């Protein structure tokens, strides 16, 4: 069964509203809890995905592509990197489906894959900005 369908539900039932993890009684008849727990396989895939993002240059590329589509040469100039290094990072970002590309003549233009990637990037950047304040 695919991970997005495999959901593990944990159900805990406590007598008289008691919870062995805390001394406070739970309100009303809140003696039944249900929570979805990430499967080990999905957690592993997410960890690997986030690990690919743990690279300064990849994040810098995403910051540019969050604002505009750009070709490898222009990305290299903006990042002060050589085209080969930028292409290498873009291959990794393509492999984890964060960026997409289109060819126009001899040029290859890159952009963020979809709105999920943009939203994710913006949420992380906003979180970091708030933490600095």
Q: Where are the domains of the chain?
A: 55-132
Residue-wise pLDDT tens digits, 14-60:
555 555 566 655 555 454 556 688 899 999 998 998 998 899 999 99
Q: Which of 9-13, 43-47, 105-109 has the lowest mean pLDDT?
A: 9-13
Residue-wise pLDDT tens digits, 56-76:
999 999 999 999 999 999 999
Radius of gyration of the chain (CA): 22
> How many percent of the chain have pLDDT more than 90?
58
Distance CA 71, CA 107 (A): 6
- Considering only residues 89 and 8, tell me which one the structure prediction assigns the higher pLDDT: 89
Res 29: pLDDT: 45
Quick check: pTM over 0.85? no
Give the CATH fold of the 55-132 domain.
Answer: Arc Repressor Mutant, subunit A (1.10.10)
Residue 29: phi and psi, rounded to 5, are -100, 40
b/e sequence 42-54, b meaning 16+ C-beta within 10 Å: eeeeeeeeeeebe
Average pLDDT taken over every residue of the chain: 83
């Amino acid at each position: 069964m695919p991970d997005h369908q495999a959901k593990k539900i944990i159900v805990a039932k406590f007598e008289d509203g008691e919870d062995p993890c805390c001394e406070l009684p739970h309100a009303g008849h809140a003696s039944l809890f249900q929570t979805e727990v990430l499967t080990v396989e999905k957690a592993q895939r997410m960890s690997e995905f986030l690990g690919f993002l743990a690279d300064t240059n990849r994040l810098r590329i995403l910051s540019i592509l969050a604002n505009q589509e750009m070709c490898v040469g222009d990305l290299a100039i903006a990042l002060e990197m050589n085209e080969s290094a930028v292409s290498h990072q873009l291959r990794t970002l393509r492999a984890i489906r964060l960026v997409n590309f289109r060819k126009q003549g001899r040029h290859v233009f890159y952009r963020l894959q979809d709105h999920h990637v943009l939203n994710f990037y913006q949420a992380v950047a906003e979180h970091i900005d708030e933490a600095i304040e």
